[in-house]
Amino acid sequence: MSTTSFPESPFSALATVPAARVLDEPEQTALFTRWAVDRGERRIGVSSLRLSGITCAACALPIEQALREVEGVIEATVNAAAMRASVRWDPARTRPSALVDAVQRAGYEALPDTAAAARESRRSESRQALWRLFVAAFCSMQVMMLATPAYVAGPGGIEPDLLRLLNWGSWVMALPVMAFSARPFFAGAWKALRLRHIGMDVPVSIGILITFIASSGAAFDPHGPFGSTVYFDSLTMFVALLLAGRWLEVRARHRAAETFENALGALPEIATRLLADGRTETIGIARLCVGDRVRVAAGEAFPADGCVLEGRTSADEALLSGESSPQDKAPGAEVVAGSVNLESPVVVQVLRTGADTRHEAIVALMREAQSQRPSSARWADRWAAPFLWAVLLLAGGAAAVWSVIDPSRALWVAVSVLIVTCPCALSLATPSALLAAANALARRGVLLRRLEALEGMAGCTRLFVDKTGTLTEDRPRYTGCVRLPAAALIDEPTLLQLAASLAAWSRHPLAQALCESQSASTADTPTWHALREQPGAGVEGQDAQGRRWRLGSAHWVGGPSASTDDSAGLETWFGPIGQPMARLRFDETVRPDVAAALADLRAEGLRVTLLSGDAPSRVDRMAALLGLDSAVGGATPEAKLAAVRAAQADGETVAMLGDGINDAPVLAQADVSLAMGAGALLARGHADAVLLANRIGDVVELRRMSQRCIRVIRQNIAWAATYNAVCVPLALAGMLPPWAAGLGMATSSLFVVCNALRLRH
């Protein structure tokens, strides 16, 4: 039985001094260092490091000592729990690599912490939100304790002086809530008013202020205009419940940000590049170029998109594709930047770097999705301001009416109306559900560029699907060779080796499939000269005798103008110019989950149409194989666009799934556009959602999640509407005191959030 070995630490990439020196490059230093000026006008670097090997709190001391012994280090602090170090250093006297070396000499490992600033900001926000909630909850409990005697005692059961003393105590405990815990509501209301805009913080702040002022008046002057009833318990509980809801929202937002950072941090900082003379050099990944050969050790992340040249391993692509099981990577297999090499060292040739990599495309999609606001959420925003104005007018009208009926209750009725009609639940109904669904889909490997895709996919009635690279694997399978009369003196294995050696210089899917079908031996293959590739035709090279060979279309090589049997599959021709020696045949391989996925979609009432530019005979054969009763073959990009527009004109909601550059126009036209993760960048750029794992079954998951999401949104809206329909009349009738209004409003918001969180599971 073979065994798999792993390095002791993922930080081993910087285990050597030359590797650590890469951190001294300015572009690398800027990723984890911020610059400040001390009192002596001296420029100071503040670097954040991630630590490995810490087992207890006592480990912090030797690391701090090792860092402080480095010449030029001004201050070093280590957080053992977070496994992070912050170092202030003088750039005139030391470098970041010296900091990493010092940590390694102390027996630990270190890597740059590129997300330190954002994480510290989130930590500060979360800590402050938790403190505000704690103060409000603690004071609320004390106020409730002081208010309990007034609730349980009968009329005249408490002496007036003692009751006044209890009210004063409640007032004292309400002060921290007003001064500290409720500050975000007042700040938000003030900001909205300065911008001449009304937000949800405005009625909340008005209700809090009115309640506090009136309760204070009642506490200090029971016979005054505010009466003798105080609502400090309702006030503090209301603020605590609101803060609890906001704290849950902050936590959810921070979890999404951490997921985004995990994707950002998947790439390594450095790479080991192989030079032409056999030597190696360690460089930052920003300096990698297409065509470079890099060595990736077991446990390291692949620094760029590429293909395996030497070695065999497996890769963990869960973060990028949602595929939880390791993926085998044999020579010729493509690897994705940010995925982790699990088993053994390999040599990889770089195919795409920087913004062209699939990793960066995913990061860009995540960044765009996080900044999106769906149409339903924008609709809620548009109606929020008129709704809030209506709330203020309703509260003012209620106060005016009750000032005639019972002046002592007018103020409290107005406060109850303000609190109970706070549209928090209505505003959270849609975005909370959409974000929860998007997070669940991201873990599955479906990344949404537009959250509106969930709404469109739930009501979709027609799905158009491309064939090549979508229903079939993006690379065809070699099936056989037909030798032609010109190859009478060359045996088939030699002929195939010649064709494969020329095909190795092309990235065309047929050429790559031919290379994969042949052994990697190059003992008898020629050295090609004067290579050139004609787009849409093939590749050409000159052998040592000066004869020019071609691999490509029949017309390009010099054979018949077309194949006599389209249904036989794909083919390419090979031989000297004008003397074709072989017809190499290929066939498409249907993705494993396609048949079951299409059957599930049809069972759910979705009409599926195969839409492809391939030969009609092959398209019809594929449709029959998959049980589809609708297929369009030989379709140009214009024909695909016309088919989608025709379906839309018939009143259908159309989704399109494709992967190629020629699919970009039709993806832009469709109501919901889906692209394969391995597809063309242009296609991904026009798609509403990207299937990172290239699984058609994820379309089924997307549709089902979309339908669940819409149901949850409707439930949330129905709950919010029902809550307002029941509670607003009660508040207007004076039957809902402020404390009950606050409890109802907070409970409504928490119900909406918790109901949406069900989509995460």
pLDDT tens track for 270-329: 678 888 777 878 776 667 788 888 888 877 778 888 889 888 888 876 555 444 457 778
* Burial class (CB within 10 angstroms; exposed 0-12, middle 13-18, buried 19+) of 341: buried
Eight-class DSSP state of 670: S
Residue 307 · residue 295 · CB < 8 Å: no
Q: Which of 605, 618, 253 lies closest to 459, judged by CA?
A: 605
> DSSP letters of 385-411?
HHHHHHHHHHHHHHHHHHHHH-HHHHH
pLDDT at 81 over 70: no
Least confident of 244-248, 539-543, 594-598: 244-248
| H or E element, residue 215 | helix 201-220
- Mean pLDDT of all residues in the chain? 77
Residue 237 · residue 739 · CB < 8 Å: yes
Average pLDDT of the residues in 139-161: 81
| More confident position, 608 or 470 | 608
Cα 337 from Cα 7, distance rounded (Å): 19
Tokens of 693: 């794992």
Cα 465 from Cα 357, distance rounded (Å): 25
Q: Which of 532, 499, 535 lies closest to 517, judged by CA?
A: 499
Phi, psi of 328 (to 5 degrees): -65, 140
Cα 609 from Cα 658, distance rounded (Å): 12
Least confident of 168-172, 423-427, 608-612: 423-427
| More confident position, 726 or 447 | 726
> Given phi > 0 = left and psi -120 to 50 = alpha, else beta, which region is 227?
left
| H or E element, residue 62 | helix 60-68
Amino acid 120: pLDDT: 63
Amino acid 398: pLDDT: 86
| Helix runs in 504-610, H state only | 509-517, 554-557, 594-603
Average pLDDT of the residues in 581-604: 86
Instruction: Provide the 10 A C-beta neighbour count for residue 729.
Output: 11
Cα 421 from Cα 398, distance rounded (Å): 13
The C-alpha torsion from 240 through 245 and 251 to 253, rounded to 10°, is -140
* Burial class (CB within 10 angstroms; exposed 0-12, middle 13-18, buried 19+) of 291: exposed
| More confident position, 521 or 93 | 93
Instruction: Provide the 10 A C-beta neighbour count for residue 627.
Output: 11
Q: Which of 676, 696, 472, 465 lies closest to 588, judged by CA?
A: 472
Average pLDDT of the residues in 651-666: 77
Tokens of 317: 């692509």
Amino acid 637: pLDDT: 73
pLDDT tens track for 168-220: 999 999 999 999 999 988 887 887 777 676 666 777 788 788 888 888 988 88
Tokens of 267: 């790439």
Residue 727: strand, helix, or coil: helix
* pLDDT range class, residue 662, cuts 50, 70, 90: low
The residues, ordered by sequence, that sit 6+ positions from 491 with a Cβ below 8 Å of its Cβ are none
Highest mean pLDDT among 130-144, 242-256, 428-442, 683-697: 130-144
Which residues lie across from 308 on neighbouring strands?
348
pLDDT at 435 over 80: no
Q: How many helices (H) and strands (E) does the chain have?
A: 25, 27
Residue 12 · residue 297 · CB < 8 Å: yes
pLDDT at 356 over 90: no
Average pLDDT of the residues in 522-550: 79
Q: Cα–Cα distances in Å, from 647 out to 293, 439, 609, 640?
A: 48, 31, 11, 11
* pLDDT range class, residue 13, cuts 50, 70, 90: very low
Cα 232 from Cα 176, distance rounded (Å): 12
Amino acid 9: pLDDT: 38
Highest mean pLDDT among 292-306, 637-651, 701-715: 701-715
Q: Strand 689-691's sheet: what is its strand order?
A: 446-448, 689-691, 672-676, 654-658, 462-465, 607-611, 631-632
Residue 612: strand, helix, or coil: coil
Tokens of 737: 């005191």
Tokens of 733: 């009738």
pLDDT tens track for 358-396: 555 555 544 444 444 445 444 555 555 676 677 778 888
| More confident position, 11 or 458 | 458
Q: Cα–Cα distances in Å, from 35 out to 101, 226, 739?
A: 21, 56, 50
Strands 327-329 and 346-352: unpaired
Q: What percent of the chain has pLDDT over 70?
A: 78
| More confident position, 32 or 354 | 32
* pLDDT range class, residue 138, cuts 50, 70, 90: very high
pLDDT at 545 over 60: yes
Average pLDDT of the residues in 340-351: 83
Tokens of 31: 């990723």
* Burial class (CB within 10 angstroms; exposed 0-12, middle 13-18, buried 19+) of 176: middle
Tokens of 595: 């048949």
Amino acid 431: pLDDT: 74
Amino acid 175: pLDDT: 94
Amino acid 256: pLDDT: 54
Instruction: Provide the 10 A C-beta neighbour count for residue 97.
Output: 20
Strands 334-335 and 270-274: unpaired
Please give the span between the terminal C-alpha atoms of the chain, in angstroms, as a whole number: 37
Tokens of 426: 């209505």
pLDDT at 428 over 90: no
Amino acid 562: pLDDT: 43
* pLDDT range class, residue 549, cuts 50, 70, 90: very high
* Burial class (CB within 10 angstroms; exposed 0-12, middle 13-18, buried 19+) of 81: exposed
